[in-house]
Structure 1
Amino acid sequence: MKAFTLPDLGEGLAESEIVQWHINIGDTVKTDQVVVTVETAKATVDVPAPYSGKIVHRYGNEGDVINIGQCLLEIDELLANTSSVQPEKISASSENHTSPSTTVVGNISQLDKHVDVDPIYDDANQTVNLHSIANQHHPLIATPSARLLAQKLGVNIKEITGSGANRLILDNDVYLAYQQQIPGTELLKGSRRNMAKNMTRSHHDVASVTITEEARLYHWQKNDDITVNLVKAINNACHIEPALNAWFDAETMTRCLHKTVNIGIAVDSSHGLYVPVLHHAEQYHQEGIRRWIDRTAASIRSRKIDRHQLQKATITLSNYGAIAGIYATPVVTPPQVAIIGAGRIMDKVVMEGERVKTIKVLPLSITFDHRACTGGEAARFIKALVNSLESPPCDNIES
């Protein structure tokens, strides 16, 4: 019997959400067969089986958040070869050998051996000896993180039935108990969890300043593609004022100005906020940008977006005006130094000489990291952005 734990999926990610199991208990799998799909803060990843065998147990349900090193599956590689072995021999063998394991779940298969979990304390603050309760029907054991989480959330851990091996209480069991205790609460997962972490990081690390302006859309037609026009205008502004198409590292106090424009475009979905990246935006023509947006949006809806599509943005666009809103204070995501927000197009009455005229205007908001950009650089950028949007349409970018 071998325990298969969640491997390190890269990018320094410590946790993942189970999106879909592709196997059931009792199924026979082959090496490299996809057994589960998980979603990290970066993308969805198909996890293959590391060896062939029969699925004896799987841990976690779809929607659960699991950490690197946490047990996913128990696979019996030798099930076919050991089916003829007498039960007495198997029992004797199990008494003399302890299967090695690097996970908490693997360590609790034998309660008369070392258990790498925290004990539960009774009301008299006396430790419950796990050896003394090894023969009881359901000993109460929990992972250290689950016990700490229960204390933070005010959940009575003694009333929780663990979903892990031998009724081990896991973090997800505590969250479920808390959800039942206070209806309407939910554990943030996937992109929502990642958004919460990124916003906390930004609020703590970035010296953000927002500047606003509006573009007068004299030359726009009724069927003009707003997002495509914004992408083209951002690309143009980045070449005129490159200071905002940059990364900033506060620890080394270094700034990297990018020649290539990689635009992160915020996409709202039922799963949360995603920001796929249009790499080398300067190489796309108008129709190419629209095809990329449609194709990427479909990938997000099906939760099949690749990891590389969410990486290496040099500047970000949030077109929140497609839903509602005029001006905003968008949040910069480090190491980027700027984000552009586009509001709802609206009518505005203006004076042209002695005449009163109604025109369409597009509200714009740019938040920038004042540690890496000066106010002058930000003002020049938004001026270039406005000039590009106000100019007559001319799609001269090659595909």
Structure 2
Amino acid sequence: MKIFKLPDLGEGLPDAVVREWHVQEGDHIAAHDNLVTVETAKALVDVPAPWGGTVEKLFAAADETVNVGEPLVGFKEAGAAAPPEPRGETDERQRTDTGTVVGKIEQSGAVLGAEVAPSTTPRRLATPAVRALARRLGVDLADLRPQGERFSAAEIRAAAQRAPTAAAAAKAPPKPAATGTAMSPARRAMALAMSRARDQVAPMTLCDQVDISAWWGKESATLRLIRALQQACAAEPHLNALYQDEQLSPATTVNVGLAVDSPRGLYVPVLKDVAARSDEEILQQIEDYKDQAREQGIAQRDLQGGTILLSNFGGMAGRYATPVVLPPTVAIVGAGRTFQGVVAVDDRPAVRPLLPLSISADHRAVTGGELARFLKAMIQALS
């Protein structure tokens, strides 16, 4: 049996969750046909067959987690009958490992004519009782040399006194096993992204609020935010950019990464080139992303290419925040919960709907003045 293992899909995670098989055992497929859809790092990825042939075995069921490098699909060897399974042998000893996507391991069919005995027998440096005493006191015999031919109990006790910390650790009761629920791929990917942001970004955040009484209740707040962000990017293009290898590269299109909350975790699908799309297309794409996040996950291609981020957290709660910039992007806009506030209108107090804005930027790539002018442009577009 030729074994195809789960390859590294380039998402930074050591495993993937099988979501849908596209083949069954016994199917004959061609090279590059889709085998399975897996979820890793928040994305749904189609895994193609590395070669053609007959599928003999699927090593994982739907919703099962498979580690990178573990068997995924077994193919029948061309022109060879399946050998009988010897008793007591495990599947692992019967498999011929042919690698993952790239390359294969050549194996020889030759066998040894006779069993070769070891040339020397390793000498025991301690009796079973002394070895048990060493384990109990936390003494590693590999780090010591006996005074005579073998270790004595007195030598073990003396070594334990010289390393009280190790001995105490050996006597300490074992830590209780973790009882938490394993994190989903989306949550683990979020954790990796946040760690990267913590280590790489020099964040700064600027906040303000805008009177939206001219359109509040008549238009989609999310759409107005996206269009205002689009106009602000035209005014200050350095915030619609990528910062990599100490180089700031302003983008030619505005690709908005939209934070979408779901029970599976946080997704950031991308609305590509919003300036070239109609309002109806953008609103429909947002609804599609929300449905995908809730039901099956979002395709990998839809999670890539963002140039600036938007988080409309105010739909749930909160006025102001310190949104986290995800490198290599340099800015994220956060919209808080709209509230009724008192403002001055013609020198008189008036109650108006106010939209709080919180914008974070990477101070390595963006100046405070650029951030302030960007926020001003958004306020003008939303007024």
Give the shorter-chain TM-score range: 0.7 to 0.9
Shift of 1:367: 0.5
Structure 1 residue aligned with 2:29: 31
CA distance in 1, matches of 2:173, 2:254: 49
Shift of 1:385: 0.3
Which structure 1 segments of 5+ residues have no match?
107-111, 114-120, 128-153, 157-177, 391-399
Aligned length: 314
Asked if residue 195 in structure 1 is aligned to residue 190 in structure 2, the reply is: yes
The answer (yes or no) to whether the contact 1:215–1:389 under 8 Å persists in 2 is yes
Structure 2 residue aligned with 1:181: 177
Structure 1 residue aligned with 2:81: 82
> Superposition pairs for residues 136-147 of structure 1, below 5 Å?
none
The answer (yes or no) to whether the contact 1:248–1:336 under 8 Å persists in 2 is yes
CA distance in 2, matches of 1:155, 1:363: 52
The answer (yes or no) to whether the contact 1:338–1:366 under 8 Å persists in 2 is yes
Structure 2 residue aligned with 1:389: 382
Structure 2 residue aligned with 1:288: 281
> Superposition pairs for residues 54-203 of structure 1, below 5 Å?
54-56=55-57, 58-59=59-60, 62-67=63-68, 69-77=69-77, 81-82=80-81, 99-102=96-99, 124=135, 181-183=177-179, 185-203=180-198
One-letter identity of the residue aligned with 1:255: L
Identical amino acids, percent of aligned pairs: 36
Which residue of 353, 359, 365 maps to 1:360?
A: 353
The answer (yes or no) to whether the contact 1:227–1:319 under 8 Å persists in 2 is yes
Cα 1:48–1:246, aligned 2, differ >3 Å: closer, same or farther?
Answer: closer
The answer (yes or no) to whether the contact 2:339–2:353 under 8 Å persists in 1 is yes
Cα 1:217–1:5, aligned 2, differ >3 Å: closer, same or farther?
Answer: same
The answer (yes or no) to whether the contact 1:247–1:336 under 8 Å persists in 2 is yes
3-state SS in 1 of match to 2:321: coil
One-letter identity of the residue aligned with 1:234: L
The answer (yes or no) to whether the contact 2:315–2:337 under 8 Å persists in 1 is yes
Structure 1 range deviating more: 260-269 or 44-53: 44-53
Cα 1:36–1:310, aligned 2, differ >3 Å: closer, same or farther?
Answer: same
| 1:371-390 CA-partner distances (Å, limit 9, x unpaired) | 10110000000000000000
Shift of 1:350: 2.0
3-state SS in 2 of match to 1:357: strand
> Superposition pairs for residues 249-398 of structure 1, below 5 Å?
249=244, 252-303=245-296, 305-390=298-383
Cα 1:270–1:375, aligned 2, differ >3 Å: closer, same or farther?
Answer: same
CA distance in 2, matches of 1:286, 1:98: 55
One-letter identity of the residue aligned with 2:25: D
One-letter identity of the residue aligned with 1:372: A
Structure 2 residue aligned with 1:6: 6
The answer (yes or no) to whether the contact 1:18–1:36 under 8 Å persists in 2 is no
TM superposition outliers: structure 1 runs of 4+ over 6 Å? 85-88
CA distance in 1, matches of 2:185, 2:314: 25
CA distance in 2, matches of 1:299, 1:56: 30
One-letter identity of the residue aligned with 2:29: T
3-state SS in 2 of match to 1:193: helix
* Structure label with greater radius of gyration: 2
One-letter identity of the residue aligned with 1:219: A
Cα 1:304–1:196, aligned 2, differ >3 Å: closer, same or farther?
Answer: closer
One-letter identity of the residue aligned with 2:206: I
Asked if residue 240 in structure 1 is aligned to residue 238 in structure 2, the reply is: no
Which residue of 211, 216, 219 maps to 2:214?
A: 219
Shift of 1:332: 0.3
One-letter identity of the residue aligned with 2:53: S
One-letter identity of the residue aligned with 1:343: G
Shift of 1:65: 5.0
CA distance in 2, matches of 1:262, 1:311: 10
3-state SS in 2 of match to 1:326: coil
The answer (yes or no) to whether the contact 1:262–1:278 under 8 Å persists in 2 is yes
Shift of 1:81: 5.0
Shift of 1:15: 3.2
The answer (yes or no) to whether the contact 1:16–1:38 under 8 Å persists in 2 is no
Shift of 1:21: 5.0
- TM value normalised by structure 1: 0.70
Structure 1 range deviating more: 278-287 or 48-57: 48-57
The answer (yes or no) to whether the contact 1:267–1:275 under 8 Å persists in 2 is yes
One-letter identity of the residue aligned with 2:190: M
- TM value normalised by structure 2: 0.72
Which structure 2 segments of 5+ residues have no match?
106-111, 116-130, 143-171
Structure 2 residue aligned with 1:46: 46
